[in-house]
Amino acid sequence: MSVRIEKITEPLTLGEGPHWDERQQALYFVSIQDKTIHKYVPTTEKHTKTSLDGRVGFILPVEGTTDQFVVGVERKFLLIQWDGEDGSKVAVLKELGEVDKDRPNNRINDGKADPRGRLFAGTMGHEDPPGNFERNKASLYKLDSAKDGKLEKIIETVSLSNGLAWDLKEKAFYYTDSMQFSITKFDYDVDTGEISNPRNIFDFKQRGLQGIPDGTTIDTDGNLWVAVFGGSCVLKINPKNGEILQKLAIPAEQVTSATFGGPNLDILFVTSACCNVGKEQLPPSGATFMVTGLGVKGLPNVSVRL
């Protein structure tokens, strides 16, 4: 079966954070600068969206619900209710916490739930001008409802938090600070959610690769699929030896993230951006893409447990 790449949405300014909800067989994602959350159902090709009151870094379904989500808006983590319909009003049910209070220009970026439903989400430094980030002023946080439900800072001196993935077989957590141009592997304890022993497993600069590592997902073989912002591709990487197994070309320069979905978890959904960082990004840049025929399957995305 040959690889096929299909555009499934019109361009967004900064599409990000794709999450496949198995229960609803739907893809959720955000457009950060447009302050919108999105839902796409492949069987009907129905794409809906609605607006929030700030830049939104991620949207994750809440376990056991069909209309409740955790979102990261500016520097706040919010529990919201949305029926998934186009333009319908969002109700904020609860504020779960505010981070980086001493850094008012920071904002929340990538966020995911670990295999036990704990929320891991990070922030990023102020961006001014576009593409120029304030360094080492952000952090990665964890919210564990099994403990006290409070946000815990677990990594400091981050510039641009991205690329979260877990591998239970390897007892590993993968994380990217995009401005370090590298992917870090941590030892991971699924029972406690603790991470330790960080080591660099893949360095873009050392390999002479164009672009920066952005969002990341993982397949059932334990290989990472890394979106490359400024590199027009998703890289399939073996994290055990750093080998690049595949370079999947995407018809957008600013590739932001990816996740596996579909009934068999064998479709790769890829988000992108069309930010002007000194060069105009023409369509289909900014679109969300659906990639079939890769011959691999991903691990299920996990909803947040509150």
Looking at the annotation, which residues are catalytic? 214
Q: Are strands 138-143 and 151-158 parallel, antiparallel or unpaired?
A: antiparallel
Q: Would the CA dihedral through 17, 122, 54, 131 be positive or negative?
A: negative
Binding residues for substrate: 107, 109, 127
Binding residues for a divalent metal cation: 16, 162, 214
Binding residues: 16, 107, 109, 127, 162, 214
The neighbouring-strand residues paired with 111 are 121
Q: What share of the chain is helix, strand, coil (3-state, %, to 5)?
A: 0, 55, 45
> Which alpha helices (DSSP H) does the chain contain, by range?
204-207
Contact between residue 233 and residue 248 where contact means Cβ atoms under 8 Å apart: yes
Cα 12 to Cα 168: distance, rounded to the nearest angstrom: 34
Q: Assess whether the previous peptide bond of 129 is cis (omega < 30° from 0).
A: yes
Strands, E assignment, 149-262? 151-158, 161-167, 172-177, 182-189, 194-203, 212-218, 224-229, 233-238, 243-249, 254-261
Structure tokens given for 77: 């983590």
Structure tokens given for 268: 């790769």
Structure tokens given for 179: 């401005």
